[in-house]
Amino acid sequence: MTDPLEQAGASAPPIIGSGCTQRYDPEHLGPELGTDFPGAETLWEQWTAAEVAASNG
């Protein structure tokens, strides 16, 4: 095994598109890859509220 990336415990999902439209293939994303983040909406709301409060302060 000469490629150090072959030793990694994780790997990126397949990528679709190219250039500015390059993104991970949503068909291959799921909880087994660590892409499930149930608290994302709450975190986003807290962050945006803090940004609004800072800009009004």
Residues 9-52: pLDDT tens digits? 777 889 999 999 999 998 988 777 776 788 889 999 999 999 98
Determine the pLDDT at residue 13. Answer: 87
Structural domain count, the chain: 1
Q: What pLDDT does 6 receive?
A: 74
Residue 5 lies in a domain: no
The verdict on residue 32 lying in a domain is yes
Q: Which domain holds residue 19?
A: 10-56
Q: Could you tell me if residue 39 is inside a domain?
A: yes
In-domain check, residue 1: no
Domain-located, residue 41: yes
Residue 1: its pLDDT value, please?
A: 56
Q: Cβ(44)–Cβ(53) under 8 Å?
A: no
Residue 42 is assigned to a structural domain of this protein:
yes
Specify if 3 maps to a domain: no
> What pTM did the predictor assign?
0.43
